[in-house]
Structure 1
Amino acid sequence: MIPHQTKQRMPELEISDKQTGAIRYLEHGCPHWRIRWHYHDEYELHLIVASSGKMFIGDYIGLFQPGCLVLTGPRLPHNWVTNVIDNTHYALRDRVVHFDHDVIVGAVALFPELSMLLPLLDRARYGIEFLHHADAAEKYMMQIKESDGVARVGYFCELLDLLAHSPHQQVLSTTQINLPINSEFQRKIDLVIQFVMGHYEQKIALAQIARLVGMSEGHFSRFFHRATGSSFNEFVNRVRIARACDLLSRTDRPITLIAGEIGFNNIANFNRRFTQHKQMTPSKYRQQARERYSAVSTPPLLLEGVHPN
């Protein structure tokens, strides 16, 4: 785990090469301008090496911590939002490898042996989280960073081969979202998500958010569903449930108190929504989380307050 530092200056982006070529590596700290709801034409293999918080992959919202390894497909929206308190800065939070779909398809045409990678790339259009491969993936990422030419291609293929054969992978988004590359589109979605992250414990009216981005309620509803694969109210509930999971896992607070803190004034409604999303009750989730932590390690301390980067 990378130690964090508290300082005034935002960490600078570190790029290992000039970003020419089919396989591109980059890394950055937190906060950073790259940490936003965004999407692009490349596949992205993303490893978190420091901090914990919430990740947004398509219509999926879940928790992340060091060792979180995710592959996203072209134009699948994604973001990792760290729990930030007291102006904490992380010199290095993310290791990332970008690569192009056409390059892989072209390579398969030349080397049919690579065709076993295609099912992996198809699933990546929904986002895939890989468990138990963080150390190996980081080793390959560092080799990709420090090499070029044939050596870089070799390390990259070995990394994809590891992931393609992994039995420990989970598809994240229930919807394949393929968005246009449009900076204004991204700006508005990012604005909405950051507002929700800062106010999810309060009542958020659809009309209020529509005004925030200069749209009618109907237009905003269609716009938001296209961008995230879910309705705005459903998105807010997903954020709240993710926060509830965080508190249930890491604190001993009563469930009724947690429900109120995250914006559910009715405990029955909270229990129903939680069970709908997690297929278990809040108390059962807390029990299973404690069993997982006790079997592996001591749970990390909760950083109070979730703030957008």
Structure 2
Amino acid sequence: MTNASIEEKRFTGGISQHPFASKSFDTKGLGYHCPPHWHTHVEMLYVTRGRGTFHAGGCAYTAQRGDLLLINANEVHSVDVRPEDDAEYLILSVVPEVLYHSGSTIFEAKYVLPFLLGNRQHIRHFQAKQLEDSPIPGLLADIHREYSEQRYGFELALRSAFTSVFLWMLRHWIDNDPAQTGFPAFNASSLDNIKPIFEHLESRYKENLTASDAAELCGMSYSHFARCFKRITGHSYVQYLHYRRISEAEKLLLTTSHSVTNIALEVGFSHTSYFIRHFRALKGLSPKQFVLRARGQ
């Protein structure tokens, strides 16, 4: 079975292939383990009863009633609930690109990139006390109701509610990061200029493509490309390439029995030690520790 089919099989149970989705999951006091998996949309888990442990980005988060957890696109995550914790939670998902306005896709991309690229500095576990005076609980309830009832125009209502949730998170992050590090800042033409390299790395991330090669692919000088790429992603081209490769390595670590050395080679790293060093820098732990933590060991 391919990685893609594993990902699809693990995700699609109970959630439709719609750009928006919401469902309530009740463990019914039986305990529950959702194995490590990933998907291309952004997901929010909102605990409405009990508590559970959610693993994402190499970290474990214990969430209880009223807590919200954000799962970025393409991020490996898993769930563990003990029988005595008897949890129920909402699973709300959205394909972030659908939040763009059709007339200004490039301009609004800067607001969605933080949810696609991920940033370990951004808060992902929002506790109930942080949300009690915010519009978030009401917005999440609206999303679940609109998706469940699917009355005329529900897609517009869902887009509006998800956009409001994203906006609240972005402003919350900025309020807690006055320097606004890790937030893209670019004009309407910048992303269009470097779009070819994003498309190239989507499937050919393992190739040995240098920053100079990437600049040439985009028809730009090296210095212009480097400045533009940094402005848009908040990272250098090499840092982004490492992020892309390590994101793929996460999936292989959890869905295959391949050795760390083989996985390093499969995703484009020429040396295991180099791979481990960058994996640790990005995830805060080694590949082996990542696997053990993701599996709750």
TM-score by length of 1: 0.48
